[in-house]
Amino acid sequence: LDEFVRLWSEYDPEAKGRIKHLDVVTLLRKISPPLGFGKLCPHRVACKRLVSMNMPLNSDGTVMFNATLFALVR
């Protein structure tokens, strides 16, 4: 969980609690399983896994911290 918070802050330096949905794939490939996908997970597979998680997407193309975290632990 600490790793998730630390890496999230790199994409959300102003701590607004949201990042661009395109950054989520990169973020989750940097985090080791079981929370993330890990470096060995191909980009295409990571994208498919994200789609299957049904995370809510905001109208501005961002995803929220809590929604992302809850989707990962489900």
Tell me the domains of the chain and their CATH numbers.
2-73 (1.10.238.10)
Binned at pLDDT 50, 70 and 90, residue 33 comes out as very high
Vertex 35 angle, CA 31 and 41, to 5°: 55
Percent of the chain with pLDDT strictly greater than 90: 92
Binned at pLDDT 50, 70 and 90, residue 74 comes out as confident
Binned at pLDDT 50, 70 and 90, residue 19 comes out as very high
Percent of the chain with pLDDT strictly greater than 70: 100
Q: Is the dihedral of CA 2, 54, 38, 13 positive or negative?
A: negative
